[in-house]
Amino acid sequence: MSNRLLPFLKSAAAMNKSTLDLQETFRRLTYDLVCQIGFSYDLQYLLPSLPPTPFADAYETALKISMGRYTTLPFIWKVKKKFNTKSQKRLKHVVDEIQEFMGKRIKEKKEKLVNNRKWIDDHDDLFDRIMKRGQDKLQLGEAYYVDAAINFILAGQDTLCSALTWFFWLVSTNPSVEIEIVKEIKEKDDWREMVYTHASICESMRLYPPVPVEGKQAAEDDVWPDGTKVKKGMRVCFHILAMGRSEELWGSNWADFRPERWLDKSVETGEWRFIARDPFTYPVFLAGPRTCLGKQVAFIQMKMVASTILKHFRVIPSMEDFVPSYHSSVTSKMKNGFPVKILERF
């Protein structure tokens, strides 16, 4: 944070009235973060020079073309695949690029694991741990780990970027919440004690869940408690965004951004206490056995980014009545980005 995000925002603040796309800033930051956490690899995307982002571009192209399969009839994309149309050639090209990039990272790790135990003991990123535990699988070849690494980036980068973008928009348009968060982050150094900030993050993901819609396929015939019959093989979708805006679940003030709905204030100490909601009411990270494996990491990262930025800067939408245009792909996005001005906080 201090040697990448802070200098980047300082240089944006120094350019006084210039506009910055915060969504693009978080896109770059989260690629850097996720690759650091996963592989100790520094992509160096968040630099004031705004360098090209070839790996991210390939990744997003692959995602866009593959997601298109969900919005067309299966036989259409199967025909396209068979006749190797332009989009299918493009998909193959970017998938090759991604696999080559990831293959290199995994190969480097595998060589170090085999040749130099000391190195691996000293460098404990996520994939060091996964590969150490699964040494028996090293013989399976790199493909196993390459797939796991690609899945890891998919799970962690876009979701974090989305969560941060909507959080900063909601905070910038709710001054009383911003004042309370800034007060808290100035008082508390430990992210575990940032209860009000935690509640604000939960509340922003209620209104704008990074993953807006989820689906699962029934492994067996099932009957739900309300009598609904679900046959083996049926696909069931649930709308996380709609659930977060349900009056039945959140009351008549569901449309308000109110971190306090997650909080209780101690009468004696005046300290906030967080009241968690059950994950089946709030399935932003899913619920049950497929709950997000990175939930804790996600909260830590978001609190670190939020506290780093809000301690030093004010983030102000560059247009006075800016209303973001919601775009749902795999994650909740702002259609034309989030143009802001960054001002030093004194």
Closest distance of CB 243 from ligand HEM, Å: 12
Does 243 contact ligand HEM by CB under 6 A?
no
Give the integer Cα–Cα distance in Å for 265 and 267: 6
CB 194 to ligand HEM: min, Å: 16
CA separation for the pair 149, 157 (Å, rounded)? 12
Q: State the Cα angle at 6 between 4 and 10, rounded to 5°.
A: 120
Within a 10 A sphere around the Cβ of 214, how many other Cβ atoms?
15
Position among 297, 300, 304, 316 found at the interface with ligand HEM (CB under 6 A): 297
The answer to whether 79 and 86 are in contact (CB under 8 A) is: no
- Binding test (CB under 6 A) with ligand HEM, winner from 41, 59, 152, 313: 152
Pick from 188, 176, 160: nearest CA to 259: 176
CB of 113 or CB of 287, closer to ligand HEM: 287
Residues near ligand HEM (CB under 6 A), total:
19
Among 293, 326, 329, 344, binds ligand HEM (CB under 6 A): 293
Closest approach of ligand HEM to the CB of residue 274, in Å:
17
Q: Is the dihedral of CA 293, 296, 300, 306 positive or negative?
A: positive
The β-bridge partners of 37 are none
Q: Taking contact as CB under 6 A, which single stretch among the options 4-12, 156-164, 168-176, 246-254 is the one that binds ligand HEM?
A: 156-164
To ligand HEM, the closest distance from the beta carbon of 162 in angstroms equals: 7
| Contact characters 160-199, ligand HEM, x per CB under 6 A | x--x------------------------------------
343 by DSSP, 3-state: which?
A: strand
Which residues are within 8 A (CB) of 61 and not within 5 positions of it... i.e. 6 or more apart?
A: 90, 91, 94
Instruction: Point out which span in 65-73, 113-121, 209-217, 243-251 binds ligand HEM (CB under 6 A).
Output: 209-217
**Distances from the Cα of 220 to the Cα of 228, 229, 236, 286, angstroms:** 14, 11, 13, 20
Sign of the Cα torsion 201, 211, 159, 155 reads: positive
Q: State how far Cα 329 lies from the chain centre.
A: 13
What is the token pair recorded at 56?
Answer: 């991210």
Q: Work out which of 78, 107, 129, 290 binds ligand HEM, going by CB under 6 A.
A: 290
214 is a contact residue toward ligand HEM (CB under 6 A): yes
CB of 299 to ligand HEM, least distance (A): 8
Whole-number CA gyration radius for the chain: 22
Q: Pick from 6, 130, 155, 300: which binds ligand HEM (CB under 6 A)?
A: 155
In this structure, what DSSP letter does residue 102 have? H
Per CB under 6 A, the segment of 113-121, 171-179, 246-254, 292-300 that binds ligand HEM is 292-300
Q: Which stretch binds ligand HEM (CB under 6 A): 48-56, 64-72, 154-162, 190-198?
A: 154-162
Does 272 interact with ligand HEM (rule: CB under 6 A)? no
Task: By CB under 6 A, name the one of 63, 138, 213, 286 that touches ligand HEM.
Answer: 286
For residues 13 and 148, which CB has a smaller minimum distance to ligand HEM in the complex? 148
The widest CA-to-CA distance across the chain, in whole angstroms, is 71
**Rounded to 5°, angle at Cα 197 from 191 and 202:** 110
Asked if residue 161 belongs to a known ligand binding site, the reply is no
Name the token pair of 81: 């695949």
Which of 62, 146, 177, 211 is close enough to bind ligand HEM by CB under 6 A?
211
Feature table: binding site: 292
Feature table: binding site for heme: 292
**Binding positions for ligand HEM, rule: CB under 6 A:** 37, 152, 155-156, 159-160, 163, 210-211, 214, 284-286, 290, 292-294, 297-298
